Structure 1
Amino acid sequence: MRWVIWLVILFVVAALAAGTLGNNDGVVSIYWSPWRVDLSLNLFLLAIVVTGALSYVAVGTLNRLIGLPERARAWRLQRRERTAQGALREAIGLLYAGRYSRAHKAAQRALEIQALTPELTADGEFATLAHLLAASSLHRLQDRGRRDDQLARALTALGPKSAHLPVAEGARLLAAEWAIDDREADRALEQLAQLPAGVARRTQALRLRLQAARLARQPLEALRTARLLAKHQGIAPVAAHGILRSLAIEVLDTARDADQLRRIWLQLEAADRRDPVVTARAASRSVELDCIADGRGWLRPHLAELSKLGERERSSVLKAFIDVLPGLPVDWLPLLEDSVAAQPGDMPLAHAVGRAMAERQLWGRARRLLESVAQSASAEPAQRQDAWRWLGRIADREGDEAQAQRCYREAAQIS
């Protein structure tokens, strides 16, 4: 179609030229004493066009001849740049293929080509990428000394005002990741602290910060980071729940006295304080740090909604409740009785409430609940054994020595 259009245009031009110049009787006379040249106007115009074309071609040819050395230099520069880029790509492929020694050599070859080409030395990003590839290869080879040297050169190649460049951010993230692999949490946190605020909130940065905080045994910082990571969907919801729960428990375990435990409890997020397993751990720690009343207060909302909890949560809450029984106030009894009445076949609950009645020296109620647990085939062996032991203690208090011996014997047979 294009050729047809050009042919039509050619025909149009030919028709216009024939109509315009065909009947042109003009004459151009050129005087150059003592000569005179007469030319037709058509020939004169044709000569001007040809002369202009020849002049254009001559000037272009002369310019190309004059610029030939510069073009040769540009061609050599382009060839070296392509060679350097090829070495860099080769290093990337070898690194991904697990050929770390060859990847390091390819990256070094790219750097050597750049060093021998003055026009390429100004490309800081190229040098940084090559140094990072060399450092990554050396990290895999566990050559930490040369790896750190390559990393320092990579950061130096960019200059002091290039912290916002993606390659600089990547260098910091790689440095933090390598520090975590070396089990150097402080160095990893130092590298992450040098990242811009926006980069520090990215998923990869948060993951590295979480690992570094756990490695540095900073569970509270790790918990906050994990919550941000879960908010950014950097962790699967199911995994996030388990990680947040375990970190909250680690934070509680760092308490060394009652006041510190209370401060840590208030520092936790509301979602953590609503977690029955975390609350159960806090109650158990309150027993160890002699602030049982606080632990009972934290545990009470979960006991009131025991029927809504899962199996693991119920078990944790009931075990923690048994731990905080010493000094149980009388105002707990209505709540416990209502719970047993609502769930009469729940043996773990019956065991815990029976222990609570024994703590309040309500021997009759305690005996009735503990006997149901001790004689139940669905109760756990540990709960049945504990129930028999407490029944023996109750019999000792009532002076029934034979019954006490029978209860202790039953407990021994379970073990």
Structure 2
Amino acid sequence: MRFLFWFLLLAVAAVVAALAARLNAGYALLVAPPYRVELSLNLLLILIAGGFAALYFGLRVIVRTIQLPAQVREWRRLQKKDRARAKLDAAIVALLEGRYGKAQQQAQEALALPHSSGLAALVAARAAIDVRQFDAAEAYLSRPETQARSLSVPRLTLSAEIALEQGQPQEALRILDALKREAGMHTAALRLELRATQAARRFDQIPSLVDQLVKRGVFDAAQGEQVRIAAQREQLRALAHDAAGLRDAWSRLPESTRTLPPIARAAAQSFLQLGGDREAGEVLARSLEREWNSELVEPYGECRLPDATRQIEQAERWLAGHNQDAVLLRVLGTLCQRQQLWGKAQTYLEASLALDNHWRTHLALGEMLGRLGRSDEANAHFVAALRLATDELKRRR
């Protein structure tokens, strides 16, 4: 349709031009003594139009000829830039596929081309970190292309990860502090800071980091709680030689956290190492009252409380609701043996063996019978304890 319109328009223009030429009887006289040139006006107009067109196109050809070398250089630059971009794309795809060697190769080829982006060096560094080629990764990150301000965040993040992977959590935290000053803290940097803080054993700083990661959806509530509890447990274990620090950390924990089995066990073990048997016993008893956990019974039996009779009575109250718990029976036997209640001790220990043939119970029975002068029976239990303990070690291997 468009072609037909232009064809008709051109035909009309040609007809109008032909009619105008027939009606135009004028002429032009050009005098340059001794020459006289007489031309029809139509021919003069045609010559003027043709001359203008020739001059215009001639000038265009000259300008294009002059610009041709610059245009060739620009074309070549764009070709190299396109090749570099293609190499970078291939490097990113290889990195996402987990082909780290190929990712480095493609990134190096991109860097070898002029006008390459610093992003290629970052991709190569990321691939090198994943195969633990830390020297190569640091070399990539030190290239001039990566020093652009727009690339400071990924460069600092990768530098912090290199330090962390090399066992330098303090250096990683220093770099992350610089990153925080540069551009604030984003999610990936927060995750890295959590790892570095754990490695640096700064357990008191972990709960606040976990809260931020939960808000950003990195952890759900249950996962965040697990990480938080693990950090609090390790903090309590780390204070096993600092009585004041341990009591301060324990006092700052909410009551709901203190009665959690992992927390209670860690606190009790640290209190026991510091000679705080009474505090350890109270911690374990409160946790067991809230939620029964056989793993807490063993350390409760290790506590040497001032009122041993009351300790036995407490354990016997628990036995009313957990009479099939072999660990509780063994602990009761140990507590009775400590008070020289030989009959009750033997009864509890034998009941524990009936439920669980454990080497610790055989050992406790052997020690008690040895003190009572029943050497043959004691030796039999010692042999059984040794055999069972050896089997357990083999299974752990």
What residue in structure 2 maps to residue 66 of structure 1? 66
Write the letter of the residue equivalent to 2:66. Answer: I
Alignment partner of 1:190 is 2:174: yes
| Secondary structure in 2 matching 1:200 | coil
The alpha carbon displacement at 1:319 in A equals: 1.7
Aligned residues: 371
Instruction: Give CA deviations for 1:167-222 in whole Å, capped at 9, x if unaligned.
Output: 3222112222222333333322222221136663423x344334433443444445
Cα distance in 2 for residues equivalent to 1:72 and 1:47: 37
What residue in structure 2 maps to residue 172 of structure 1? 156
The alpha carbon displacement at 1:100 in A equals: 9.2
Cα distance in 2 for residues equivalent to 1:339 and 1:357: 15
**Residue of 93, 96, 101 corresponding to 1:98:** 101
Give me the TM-score of the superposition, normalised by structure 1.
Answer: 0.66
The alpha carbon displacement at 1:303 in A equals: 1.0
Change in 2 beyond 3 A, CA 1:336/1:26: farther
Greater mean alpha carbon deviation, residues 178-187 or residues 224-233: 224-233
Instruction: Give CA deviations for 1:131-153 in whole Å, capped at 9, x if unaligned.
Output: 54676788769583x76455334
Give me the TM-score of the superposition, normalised by structure 2.
Answer: 0.68
The alpha carbon displacement at 1:282 in A equals: 0.9
**Residue of 290, 308, 317 corresponding to 1:305:** 290
Cα distance in 2 for residues equivalent to 1:266 and 1:174: 39
1:373 and 1:383 in contact (8 A); partners too: no
What residue in structure 2 maps to residue 374 of structure 1? 350
Identity %: 20
Change in 2 beyond 3 A, CA 1:368/1:77: same
1:108 and 1:134 in contact (8 A); partners too: no
Write the letter of the residue equivalent to 2:178. Answer: Q
Change in 2 beyond 3 A, CA 1:31/1:297: farther
Change in 2 beyond 3 A, CA 1:199/1:274: farther
2:84 and 2:111 in contact (8 A); partners too: no
The alpha carbon displacement at 1:157 in A equals: 3.6
The alpha carbon displacement at 1:265 in A equals: 2.7
Write the letter of the residue equivalent to 2:69. Answer: P
Cα distance in 1 for residues equivalent to 2:303 and 2:23: 123
Instruction: Give CA deviations for 1:2-55 in whole Å, capped at 9, x if unaligned.
Output: xxx224424653686589779778647465567574559xx97x9998777666
**Residue of 365, 368, 384 corresponding to 2:361:** 384
Change in 2 beyond 3 A, CA 1:191/1:61: same
What residue in structure 1 maps to residue 2 of structure 2? 6
What residue in structure 2 maps to residue 249 of structure 1? 233
The alpha carbon displacement at 1:286 in A equals: 0.7
Root-mean-square deviation (CA), in Å? 4.9
1:373 and 1:379 in contact (8 A); partners too: no
The alpha carbon displacement at 1:108 in A equals: 6.1
1:296 and 1:321 in contact (8 A); partners too: yes
| Secondary structure in 1 matching 2:269 | helix
Cα distance in 2 for residues equivalent to 1:333 and 1:48: 124
Change in 2 beyond 3 A, CA 1:127/1:353: same
Write the letter of the residue equivalent to 2:70. Answer: E
1:371 and 1:387 in contact (8 A); partners too: no
Write the letter of the residue equivalent to 2:64. Answer: R
What residue in structure 1 maps to residue 192 of structure 2? 208
Write the letter of the residue equivalent to 1:196. Answer: K
1:30 and 1:37 in contact (8 A); partners too: yes
Write the letter of the residue equivalent to 1:66. Answer: I
The alpha carbon displacement at 1:321 in A equals: 1.7
What residue in structure 2 maps to residue 340 of structure 1? 319
2:324 and 2:355 in contact (8 A); partners too: no
1:325 and 1:356 in contact (8 A); partners too: no
2:363 and 2:381 in contact (8 A); partners too: yes
Cα distance in 2 for residues equivalent to 1:6 and 1:271: 82
Write the letter of the residue equivalent to 1:13. Answer: L
